[in-house]
């Protein structure tokens, strides 16, 4: 169990806080809007109404013990940047922040923010991927155009081997595991035959994954 700070309790900040709490973590929620704090007060581990552009107010919240402090302020660019600047000044080591524009991202990057999040953009990419490849349950960027994806295997692939779905450029593609009911096989043999209604976790370059996708789609 870890402790996290979430500054800005709008839709994005509130949803992130609830998810962290559901995962068993402690969350300190902060916002300058009294109504936003009151709406979350019974859920959060600790909550505070504070002017996050005031360094002294942030210092009094004792956020330096948090594993990560997420600055979830999006609309008010000045408040977001001042908040990040003050958090760094008071010694918060790990800061993540929400950005709403390219310039916002660039300034946060210059301030040394470790991870910059674009919720709407990331959700748009996720929805587009889901529409394009409905069999993809989850995907995660590993950087440098490499991704890890979780795929649902349908009945229509029953009888095929893993080798049958391998891309030509197999050097940049790996089947990490296959899950059948309660049984998980790590780094399965390419001669393994698919049964349908199972889950594959694969990692590969974007090019390799794109070449695999048509082989996994249900025939029209």
Structural domains present in the chain? 3-118 (3.40.50.720), 129-216 (3.30.70.1450)
CB 150, CB 200: distance < 8 Å: yes
pLDDT at res. 125: 61
pLDDT at res. 146: 86
pLDDT at res. 132: 58
Mean pLDDT per 10-residue interval, the chain, length 220 residues? 92 91 93 94 94 94 93 90 96 92 91 86 63 68 82 87 84 91 91 90 86 78
pLDDT at res. 129: 59
Q: In sequence order, which residues have a C-beta less than 8 Å from that of residue 24 and are 6 or more positions away?
A: 1
pLDDT at res. 121: 67
CB 69, CB 63: distance < 8 Å: yes
Sheet of 183-186: strands edge to edge?
136-143, 146-153, 198-205, 173-180, 183-186
pLDDT at res. 119: 80
Measure the CA–CA gap between 188 and 161, rounded to whole angstroms.
Answer: 11
Q: In sequence order, which residues have a C-beta less than 8 Å from that of residue 76 and are 6 or more positions away?
A: none
CB 80, CB 51: distance < 8 Å: no
């Amino acid at each position: 169990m870890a402790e996290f700070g979430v500054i800005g309790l709008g839709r994005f900040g509130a949803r992130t806080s609830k998810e962290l709490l559901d995962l068993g973590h402690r969350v300190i929620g902060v916002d300058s809007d009294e109504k936003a704090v009151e709406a979350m007060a019974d859920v959060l581990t600790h909550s505070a109404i504070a002017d996050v552009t005031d360094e002294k107010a942030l210092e009094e919240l004792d956020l330096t013990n948090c594993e990560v402090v997420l600055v979830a302020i999006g609309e008010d660019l000045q408040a977001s940047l001042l908040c990040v600047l003050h958090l760094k000044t008071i010694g918060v080591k790990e800061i993540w922040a929400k950005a709403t524009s390219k310039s916002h991202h660039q300034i946060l990057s210059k301030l040394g923010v470790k991870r910059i999040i674009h919720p709407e953009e990331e959700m748009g990419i996720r929805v587009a991927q889901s529409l394009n490849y409905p069999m993809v349950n989850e995907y995660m960027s590993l950087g440098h155009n490499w991704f890890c994806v979780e795929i649902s295997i349908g009945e229509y692939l029953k009888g095929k081997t893993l080798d049958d779905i391998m891309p030509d450029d197999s050097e940049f593609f790996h089947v990490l595991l296959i899950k059948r009911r309660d049984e998980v096989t790590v780094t399965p043999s390419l001669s393994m035959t698919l049964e349908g209604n199972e889950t594959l976790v694969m990692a590969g370059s974007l090019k390799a994954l794109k070449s695999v996708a048509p082989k996994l789609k249900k025939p029209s």
